[in-house]
Chain A
Amino acid sequence: MSEPNSNALDALLKKHKLTRGEYEKIQQLLGRDPNLTELGIFSVMWSEHCSYKSSKVHLKKLPTRSERVLQGPGENAGIIDIGEGYAIAFKIESHNHPSFIEPFQGAATGVGGILRDIFTMGARPIAVMDAIRFGPLDSLENGARNRRILDGVVQGISHYGNCFGVPTVGGETVFEDSYDGNPLVNVFALGVFRHDEIFYGRATGVGNPVIYVGARTGRDGIHGASMASDVFTEASQQQRPTVQVGDPFMEKLLLEACLEAMRTGAVVGIQDMGAAGLTCSTSEMGSRAGTGIDFDLKHVPQRETGMTPYEIMLSESQERMLLVAEKGREGEILAVFDKWGLESAVIGTVTDDGMLRVRDNGVVVAEIRNRDLADEAPLYHRPYTKPYRTAPYEAPEFASSNLEADLLGLMGSADLCSKRWIWEQYDYMVQTNTLAGPGGDAAIVRIKETGISVAMSLDGNGRYCYLDPREGAKLIVAECCRNLSAVGALPVSATNNLNFGNPERPEIMAQLVEGIEGLAEACAFFDTPITGGNVSLYNETLGESIFPTPVVGIVGLLGTAPPVGMKFPAAGLDVLLIGGLGQASDQEMGGTQYAKQVLKSLWGVPPKLDMEREKAVQAATREVVVGGLARAAHDLGEGGIAVALAEASLGGVGAEVSFESGLRPEIALYHEGPSRVLIATERRAEVEAIAARHGVEALWIGRTVEGLLKIRLNSHEVISVSTDKLHHRWDRALEEALHV
């Protein structure tokens, strides 16, 4: 840059969200000053979103290997061997900031982005799940806005996923003050392929042509990656032009064309253009292969005239891919894209000098080593103290005046009520693989070519993690694995989406560090290595950070068979609790749904997790379910045993149960102690024998009955409610809250 004066440079750096120190590192790597295009390129590649500069030193603590892992973090998605010569690719990604600024397109392009990550590896996407979080729908101040954001996000996911033709099979929806002004939209996608169909984002083979395919490049989304690394201020609404617009039809064509092009055998490497677009795909593909890429912008298909090199390199136009082909066979690839009516163009070649060399009509406009962009971003050991919290440790005085009213209140609460209104807007059946769709403990998708099915579950709990990020993160992993075990699946691998506040605040950084360490410990223990994921920081609005919200997606494997559901299917079955009644103190009630919905309060610590015991309960549950002994199985989670029983009763068959507990009634019924699974069976003795063999309790608590849920505690009837009433409360609550 031509000697900008100090103030002008500071302003320029601020605009690019680069620090003075980072600028000096750029100068040092280049051996000169960067020009404006180069500065733009560095700014997106070194953004928090692309470089993980604040989290990388801690992400290294996560377990990433097992016998099944074919590809860990660092590629577009992780890959797991599932047997019979098949593999799955899966990942979760956030689109939080764009979804606040423009909910429909923000969420839609979130789905589009993660789908491209999957099929760029050669896998056909077979399932999507979403974890979405919003501010309260009934907030006096922002309720209308929160309802509008929810509606936009749901319609955006619906629009994109349905048209693309991938089933949206599950997810979670949570409402919390802390997401008021900073909604979270985390999208998980999973695809399937054979081992010999795997492709990587590597630009190998000097002299090979570099091919651009898909949508034309426009001025949309410029600086999206650095926006995603920003905190919200009142000016955020003015950033709308940086949100991209998605075209699921184009993406569907891109999917079919890419898979067909891969089958020609002429594709050497391939990567989608997501955050930081052309910049990221060229430099990462080159960096992974240790090669250079030399290309000319004049060959890049453009939607608008007069775009500058800076704009073309930083555009985040959607539905674009970058391929490297075998030299001499580019014609075969161009023909496939032509068949699908897609534009494609050879824009440059792979070189041996490791440089990203960008030309504009032959004139070099940027020249940077690929590895400096992809791997040399500064790593920050950001200082951290104790995790931020203001909630008290001590429990307030509380005692229920009506345990049945509490249950009805919980069943009709925004977090626990039916999300049917949301998931009926998603096509959850297309591809005819969905054995278990939305609304269960875990979704199950069969893989037709094999006898194998994949189960998946998505979980987060901002309250637990706010009270204790480390223990909260462990509980999430345990819950996710328990969800899978309840449908009979063996958990095998995980992906994570770390949604946190501003890492430059030491008490927020501490949440991130402890959250990651908790995940690392639990994922190692449950043998579910993390093969990839996403970090979303700076989730704060006007100085208020969101609850630390790691969201975990875990996949499990099981044989293809009719699924065991969570609802009681018939009267007269024995109801057992594998893992027993569990324990909880007053302090451990503070993060529960009971505290949130009934007492409108937050305190204390999350429930205590004994991972050994959890593992044994899960192993026993899987054996029971896979062995065909369970007519229904449902893990205990939010709302404890009372809510789990109520949920199992929603099909019209309830239960009459009775148990003894030394805990106060509201704690006995509503505590969220982990390591418990509800089973309905005709073969009680066999279930008990399996539990005994695993060293865990299988407590008989009663039998299923038609139309009624009756709970006796210490010989007192505390709840007696018709299943119709439960269903009515639960089924309509969301629509009522949304006023639709």
Chain B
Amino acid sequence: MKFGVVVFPGSNCDHDAYYAVTRNLGQQADFVWHDSENLSQLDAVILPGGFSYGDHLRCGAIARFSPVMKAVKKFADAGGLVAGICNGFQILTEAQILPGALIRNQGMRFICKTVGLETATSASAFTNRLKEGQVIQVPIAHGEGCYTAEAQVLDELEAEDRVVFRYVENPNGSLRDIAGILSAGRNVMGMMPHPERVADPLMPGTDGLAVFESIVSAYASLSR
């Protein structure tokens, strides 16, 4: 299958996602420049981590206006698989493709470390290779990763089984320990931790690979 890795000015985990998908997963991938308006040739889209537009104004606040985001919205509305990682998650919430917002970490500092993530649901295109309750070790690297939303939204996310990952030990103050969520259609996921950083045997662990393998499985059953 073919992944698209979107490149905004200031994206800096684009090459990492590309490497994980092509070298570790053995799939195809294209970089997609932020002014592209057509994603129809792609089977899944990754919005990678980084500091799009330098996080000016707010993380993801400017990227949401990039031409490519209209295309991403269209792609997602048509049922296409979209994964937003870190800054990609922030952009998806700014674009209101996912609910809630990511605000400054509770401790007011950037944190880079590997944390335990509990798989909150395996019923998704991004976690079907994991078991519910399974804990995987995945790095975080963010200053604005505190997930927040109205209580009603959080209730809804939980009632609809749309929380994908929860922090085992909450590093940033995210409400209800939420590390990643799904869209109502379950085909768009945003998560703050970086699965692409633990997809290679030489990195400290390969737990992140399951997220990408899940996408491949989901795509295979979608296209059957």
Contacts and interface: CB of A to CB of B under 8 A. Distances in A.
Interface stretch (B52-60, B116-124, B128-136, B154-162): B52-60
Contact of B10 (A155, A249, A430, A435): A249
B202 A429 contact: no
Contacts of A163: 10, 12, 51, 54-55
B22 to A, nearest CB: 11
A385 B160 CA distance: 79
Interface in B92-144: 109-113, 139, 141, 143
A462 interface: no
B19 to A, nearest CB: 6
Interface of A is mostly: loop
Nearest to A436: B204
A450 interface: no
B16 A431 contact: yes
B9 A253 contact: yes
A429 B10 contact: no
Contact of A424 (B19, B51, B113, B196): B113
Given A427-B141, A430-B141, A249 B111 contact: no
A684 B215 CA distance: 47
A247 interface: yes
A415 B125 CA distance: 48
Interface in A554-585: 560-562
Contacts of A253: 9-10
A424 B172 CA distance: 13
B37 interface: no
A306 to B, nearest CB: 27
A425 interface: yes
B158 to A, nearest CB: 30
Question: Which interface residue of A162, A249, A429 has the most chain B CB atoms within 10 A?
Answer: A429
Nearest to A341: B9
B54 A429 contact: no
Given A247-B54, A429-B139, A435-B202, A252 B112 contact: no
B207 interface: no
A250 B54 contact: yes
B109 A425 contact: yes
A248 interface: yes
Interface string B191-224: 0001011011011000000000000000000000
A158 interface: yes
Contact of A430 (B13, B109, B111, B199): B13
A165 interface: yes
Contacts of A730: none
B15 interface: yes
Interface in B14-57: 15-16, 19-20, 49-51, 53-56
Nearest to B7: A256
A431 B48 CA distance: 12
A424 B197 CA distance: 16
Contacts of B203: 429, 432, 434
B117 to A, nearest CB: 16
A448 interface: yes
B51 A249 contact: yes
Contact of A446 (B12, B50, B141, B202): B202
Contacts of A466: none
A432 B50 CA distance: 13
B12 to A, nearest CB: 3
A621 to B, nearest CB: 22
Contacts of A435: 202
A430 B9 contact: no
Interface residues of A, number: 31
A164 B55 CA distance: 11
Nearest to A435: B202
A430 to B, nearest CB: 6
Contacts of A247: 54
A435 B197 CA distance: 11
Interface string A109-124: 0000000000000000
Nearest to A560: B202
A432 B197 contact: yes
Contact of A158 (B10, B110, B194, B202): B110
A464 interface: no
A423 B111 CA distance: 9
A432 B200 contact: yes
A429 B141 contact: yes
B19 A448 contact: yes
A361 to B, nearest CB: 34
B34 to A, nearest CB: 10
B200 A164 contact: no
A165 B13 contact: yes
A426 interface: yes
Given A429-B141, A446-B202, A424 B12 contact: no
Nearest to A563: B202
Contacts of B141: 162, 427, 429-430
Interface string A154-190: 0100100011110000000000000000000000000
A429 B19 contact: no
Question: Which interface residue of B10, B196, B200 has the most chain A CB atoms within 10 A?
Answer: B10
Contacts of A448: 19
A82 to B, nearest CB: 18
Given A249-B53, A430-B141, A562-B202, A164 B12 contact: yes
Contact of A162 (B51, B139, B197): B51
Interface of A: 155, 158, 162-165, 247-250, 252-253, 340-341, 423-432, 434-435, 446, 448, 560-562
6 contacts: A162-B143, A253-B10, A427-B110, A432-B196, A560-B202, A562-B202
Given A248-B51, A432-B20, 19 more contacts: A162-B141, A163-B55, A247-B54, A250-B54, A252-B9, A252-B12, A252-B51, A253-B10, A425-B110, A425-B111, A427-B112, A427-B141, A429-B197, A430-B49, A431-B15, A432-B197, A432-B200, A435-B202, A448-B19
